[in-house]
């Protein structure tokens, strides 16, 4: 009964939206997406393989952020913390104990979830909301960055290198630089993240999460254990983000405090969801499909500028300038994001 | 000071508090346990620094440096808190505004050969205009909307500013040189004259901003908009102009802080990032939107940074600041000087 009440109470709920709890359609869309995406390594020239993998990583981070901040309404500005925990767990375990990344995926996700729950517990106990919550998560990620910078067993500022193997290895998740295996493993991980999100949102906890976002007092008065639901959502979100971190370390075989815990990484988690559409499953993926190639394109321009930008030859910064201008424009013009705007337009029709 | 003045004296948002005048603040300070805790933290840090270094000279030096740098944080944070109090925007581009102040100073010195301090009015004017334009053209459209759009725009803006500067000036560290910058001896500790000027200048400017808010008709309009933008609009205040000017004023504070620290800072396109973080700590500590709180919070953060740097050898001085930040968020998210708890 409670479930039904909450479902109706929340018009934005993923369940209540079309009145069905049917997963068939989203799963068909997901299947189509996977089939189309699977061709990417064949279609793309070898030099662009890295872009495709990058898109997968950004999409995973966006999905993680979106669950907590989009569906859960807990605006995180420190998702780098969870990404970094995943990245460093993998690097540390492989460098010191030669533990397979497949195991690190679980360990990293578990540690990140635990840390997220601790942060969440303290933050919600003291009723930090909106800007305060965002600033607290921001400060937490920065603290981890400073700690990693000053921690000897994490090799400080120098960072950690994943030891290079001489040949491809599935068990150690290591292949030649542009091997398509990376793309398929990343795609599989992305699908896992999407499925986790889809099923979580349809679970009791997930439905409560959206209900709490829309009206915490009402959910509380209906007997929802607000704290427990919020913590669970944060935990799942952090775990997904940590998976992206583990995979990142394996692909780039290097991690340092700035890459792992830097502010840029937190932004990288927020932007795909915002550009694609907050609180939509497809949003972060669409966002990542735009950001990934955009990063690449602008970096290209920076290295070898097109004719009209010739005067910039040899100067860095152009890539980020273009990136940030586009970011601002999209936020201003499409406040609901691309998927959100299309959906809005579709319903208005 | 009359009670009515006391009540209208702050920039805190409606459901926040209306503490703020000197008298009210002192009362708060005396009566509030968090302020006492803060004092204890500082004393403990001082003792820890003393034990760790084993030298009164080093600790005294940290104390002096802390107070002096803290003054600049106060001015910077005042701009940030002003923007939050009136517009409800967490401005992530504040550090970038400070960087612009640095580069304006550099450019003025480079092209005219003047003493850098002549760049102060230019930096203030430039940032005032930039701030107004940013609010008027970019942020105004998102007013009253979600947190994420404003956050992303100011974030995008900070990336934009840093990288436009990188394109124009390239990444090499720059500096502006003073002809002479003698050390000043204060009770055995030494700071350079440029630090003293920065400290005094920051406090004077902060005082000016405070007086503008407190005593002028325009300040009253700003406070009215902060209390209720709708109500202010109804009594004929042009809310959009007030928003723009307030943002301009906040940015100008950051620009002035940038100019004041230029003589002893390495000027790079990302120099402001670290100040961004510090300013947030100060603002949260003083209570978001509380101008007087920012002033005192700045000094405390300066002290914690310097004393913490001595007490936690081998760690970044910022670590102590972050621990403090989390501590404050947890015990008193409305800020140490935020008055009643919500």
Number of compact structural domains in chain A: 1
A313 and chain B: CB distance < 8 Å anywhere?
A: no
The reply to whether residue A150 touches residue B316, judged by beta carbons under 8 angstroms, is: yes
pLDDT at residue A320 is higher than 70: yes
Whether residue B136 lies inside any domain: the answer is: yes
| Chain B neighbors of A149, CB-CB under 8 A | 316
Q: What is the mean pLDDT of residues A90-115?
A: 94
CA distance B281 to A180: 45
Contacts of A325 in chain B (CB under 8 A): 156, 160
A142 interfaces chain B, CB cutoff of 8 Å:
yes
* Burial label, A165 (beta-carbon count in 10 A; 0-12, 13-18, 19+): exposed
The whole-chain average pLDDT of chain A stands at 86
Query: Hey, are the CB atoms on B319 and A332 less than 8 Å from each other?
Result: no
Greater pLDDT, A132 or A192: A192
Contact B327, B285 (CB under 8 A): no
- CB < 8 Å to B145, chain A: 335
Query: A140 and chain B: CB distance < 8 Å anywhere?
Result: yes
Contact B319 A143 (CB under 8 A): yes
A44 to chain B, any CB pair closer than 8 A? The answer is no
Gap between the terminal Cα atoms of chain A: 34
Q: In chain B, how many domains are there?
A: 1
The reply to whether A313 falls in a domain is no
A53 falls in which pLDDT band (50, 70, 90)?
Answer: very high
Query: In a mutagenesis test of the B interface, which of A68, A115, A119, A131 is the best target, namely the one with the most B β-carbons within 10 Å?
Result: A131
Residue A3, domain member (yes or no) = no
Here the ipTM equals 0.78
When pLDDT is cut at 50, 70 and 90, the band that residue A314 belongs to is low
Three-state DSSP at B175 gives coil
In a domain, B59, yes or no: yes
| Residue bearing tokens 């290198």 | A161
Residue B30 lies in a domain: no
Q: Longest C-alpha distance within chain A, in Å?
A: 67
DSSP B50-118: HHHH--HHHHHHHHHHHHHHHHHHHHHHHHHHHHHHHH----TTHHHHHHHHHHHHHHHHHHH---GGG
Task: Say yes or no for a CB contact (<8 Å) between A135 and B329.
Answer: yes
Residue B137: which CATH number? 1.10.3470
Whole-number Å distance between alpha carbons of A218 and A211: 8
Q: Is B273 exposed, middle or buried (0-12, 13-18, 19+ CB in 10 A)?
A: middle
**CA–CA gap between residue B202 and residue B212 (Å, rounded):** 15
- Whether the pLDDT of residue B215 is over 50: the answer is yes
Q: Name the DSSP letter for residue B184.
A: E
In the prediction, which pLDDT does A87 show? 96
Contact B159 A130 (CB under 8 A): no
Distance from CA of A115 to the nearest CA of B (A): 15
- Is the per-residue pLDDT at B333 higher than 90? no
B160: nearest CB among A75, A271, A321: A321
CA A301 – CA A319 distance, rounded (Å): 7
**Residue B314 binned pLDDT confidence (cut-offs 50, 70, 90):** low
Each residue's pLDDT tens digit, A61-80: 999 999 999 999 999 989 99
Tell me the pTM: 0.83
Q: How far is B286 from B292, CA to CA, in rounded Å?
A: 7
Q: What is the mean pLDDT of residues B39-63?
A: 80
Token couple for A50: 């890295």
Contact A144, A262 (CB under 8 A): no
Q: Which residue has the tokens 């986790």?
A: A196
**Lowest-pLDDT choice from A12-26, A98-112, A275-289, B257-271:** A12-26
Copy the structure tokens of residue A208.
């409560």
- From A75, A323, A332, residue closest to B141, measured CB to CB: A332
**Chain B interface mutation, best of A123, A317, A326, A330, highest count of B Cβ atoms under 10 Å:** A317
CB-hemisphere CA count at 13 Å for A70? 31
Cβ contact, residue pair B153, A75, below 8 Å:
no
From the list A75, A140, A150, the residue facing B315 with the nearest CB is A150
Structure tokens at A281: 């499953």
Lowest mean pLDDT among A260-274, B30-44, B143-157: B30-44
Is residue B187 domain-resident? yes
A139 and chain B: CB distance < 8 Å anywhere?
A: yes
- Window 108-127 of B: residues touching A by CB (8 A cutoff) are none
A152 token code pair: 């000897």
Of B172, B12, B25, the C-alpha closest to B103 is: B172
Residue B300 belongs to what domain range? 44-331
Q: Which of B275, B278, B269 is nearest to B160 (CA)?
A: B269
Cβ–Cβ contact A102 with B under 8 A: no
Q: Which helix (H) or strand (E) holds B185?
A: strand B183-186
Give domain status of residue B36, yes or no.
no
List pLDDT tens digits, range B249-274.
Answer: 999 999 999 999 988 888 988 888 88
pLDDT in tens, B65-116: 888 888 889 999 989 988 888 888 888 899 999 999 999 999 999 898 888 8
Which of A70, A266, A320, A331 is best to mutate for the B interface (most B CBs within 10 A)?
Answer: A331
Out of B147, B149, B170, name the one closest to residue A134 (CB). Answer: B147
Q: Which residues in chain B (57-86) have CB-CB distances under 8 A to chain A?
A: 84
Dihedral sign computed on CA atoms, order A218, A223, A224, A228: positive
B94 inside domain = yes
pLDDT score, position B24: 58
Interface test with B, best of A133, A143, A278 (most B CBs within 10 A): A143
Judged by CB atoms closer than 8 Å, whether chains meet at B319 and A140 is answered as no
In terms of residue numbers, what domain contains A110?
47-261
Per-residue model confidence as pLDDT tens digits over A196-221: 999 999 999 999 999 999 998 899 99
Q: Torsion angle, CA of B272/A244/B152/A66, rounded to 10 degrees?
A: -150
Q: How many CB pairs under 8 A join A and B?
A: 127
Q: Which residues 319-338 of B are in CB contact (within 8 Å) with A?
A: 319, 322-323, 325-326, 329-331, 333
Is A226 domain-assigned? Answer: yes
**Biggest alpha carbon–alpha carbon distance for chain B:** 62
Cβ contacts of A143 on chain B, cutoff 8 Å:
319, 322-323, 326
Is A256 part of a structural domain of the chain?
A: yes
CA angle A165, A94, A233 (to 5 degrees): 130
**DSSP letter for each residue of A66-133:** IIIIIIS----S-THHHHHHHHHHHHHHHHHH---HHHHHHHHHHHHHHHHHHHHHHHHHTT--HHHH
B33 domain-assigned: no
Chain A contact for B316 (CB, 8 A cutoff)? yes
Measured between CA atoms, the residue of chain A closest to residue B342 is A127
Let me know if residue B145 belongs to a domain.
yes
Nearest CA in chain B to A126: B330
Asked if B329 and B25 touch (Cβ cutoff 8 Å), the reply is: no
Q: Which residues contact B261 (CB under 8 A, 6 or more apart)?
A: B72, B102, B198
């Amino acid at each position: 009964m409670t479930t039904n009440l909450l479902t109706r109470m929340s018009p934005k709920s993923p369940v209540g939206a079309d009145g069905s709890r049917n997963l068939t359609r989203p799963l068909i869309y997901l299947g189509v997406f996977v089939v189309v995406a699977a061709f990417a390594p064949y279609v793309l020239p070898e030099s662009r393989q890295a872009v495709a993998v990058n898109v997968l990583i950004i999409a995973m981070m966006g999905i993680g952020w979106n669950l907590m901040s989009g569906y859960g309404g807990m605006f995180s500005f420190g998702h780098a913390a969870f990404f970094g925990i995943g990245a460093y767990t993998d690097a540390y375990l492989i460098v010191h104990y030669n533990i397979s990344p497949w195991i690190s995926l679980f360990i990293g996700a578990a540690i990140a979830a635990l840390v997220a729950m601790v942060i969440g517990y303290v933050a919600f106990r003291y009723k930090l909301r909106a800007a305060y919550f965002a600033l607290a998560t921001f400060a937490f990620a920065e603290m981890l960055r400073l700690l990693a910078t000053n921690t000897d067993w994490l090799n400080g500022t120098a960072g950690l290198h994943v030891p290079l193997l001489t040949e491809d290895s599935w068990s150690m998740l290591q292949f030649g630089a542009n091997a398509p295996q990376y793309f398929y493993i990343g795609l599989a991980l992305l699908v896992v993240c999407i499925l986790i999100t889809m099923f979580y949102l349809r679970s009791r906890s997930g439905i409560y999460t959206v209900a709490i976002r829309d009206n915490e007092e009402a959910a509380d008065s209906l007997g929802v254990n607000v704290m427990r639901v919020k913590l669970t959502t944060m935990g799942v979100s952090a775990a997904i983000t940590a998976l992206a971190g583990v995979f990142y370390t394996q692909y780039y075989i290097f991690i340092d405090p700035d890459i792992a815990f830097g502010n840029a990484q937190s932004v990288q988690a927020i932007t795909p969801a915002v550009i694609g559409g907050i609180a939509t499953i497809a949003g972060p993926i669409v966002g990542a499909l735009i950001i990934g190639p955009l990063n690449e394109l602008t970096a290209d321009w920076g290295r070898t500028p097109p004719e009209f930008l010739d005067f910039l030859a040899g100067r860095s910064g152009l890539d980020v300038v273009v990136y940030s201008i586009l970011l601002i424009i999209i936020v201003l013009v499409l406040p609901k994001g691309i998927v959100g705007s299309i959906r809005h337009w579709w319903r208005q029709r | 000071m009359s009670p009515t003045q006391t009540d209208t004296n702050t920039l805190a948002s409606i459901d926040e508090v209306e503490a703020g005048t000197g008298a009210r603040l002192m009362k708060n300070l005396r009566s509030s346990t968090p302020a006492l805790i803060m004092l204890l933290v500082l004393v403990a840090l001082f003792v820890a620094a003393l034990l760790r270094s084993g030298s009164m000279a080093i600790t005294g030096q940290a104390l002096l440096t802390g107070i002096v740098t803290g003054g600049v944080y106060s001015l910077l944070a005042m701009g940030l808190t002003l923007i939050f109090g009136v517009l409800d925007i967490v401005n992530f581009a504040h550090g970038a505004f400070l960087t612009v102040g640095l580069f304006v100073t550099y450019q003025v010195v480079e092209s005219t050969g003047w003493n850098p301090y002549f760049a102060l009015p230019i930096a203030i004017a430039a940032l005032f205009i930039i701030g107004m334009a940013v609010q008027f053209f970019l942020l105004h459209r998102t007013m009253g909307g979600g947190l994420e759009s404003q956050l992303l725009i100011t974030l995008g803006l900070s990336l934009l500013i840093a990288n436009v500067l990188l394109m124009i000036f390239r990444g090499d560290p720059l500096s502006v040189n003073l002809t002479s910058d003698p050390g000043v001896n204060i009770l055995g500790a030494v700071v350079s004259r440029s630090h003293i000027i920065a400290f005094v200048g920051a406090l004077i400017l902060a005082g000016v901003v405070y007086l503008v808010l407190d005593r002028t008709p325009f300040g009253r309009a700003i406070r009215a908009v902060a209390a209720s933008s709708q109500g202010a609009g109804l009594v004929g205040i042009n809310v959009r102009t007030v928003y723009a000017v307030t943002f301009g004023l906040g940015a100008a504070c950051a620009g002035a802080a940038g100019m004041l620290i230029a003589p002893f800072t390495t000027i790079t396109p990302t120099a402001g990032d670290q100040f961004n973080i510090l300013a947030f700590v100060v603002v949260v500590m003083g209570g978001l939107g509380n101008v007087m709180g920012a002033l005192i919070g700045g000094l405390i953060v300066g002290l914690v940074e310097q004393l913490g740097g001595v007490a936690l050898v081998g760690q970044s001085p910022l670590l102590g600041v972050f621990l403090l930040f989390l501590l404050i968020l947890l015990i008193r998210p409305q800020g140490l000087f935020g008055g009643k708890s919500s």
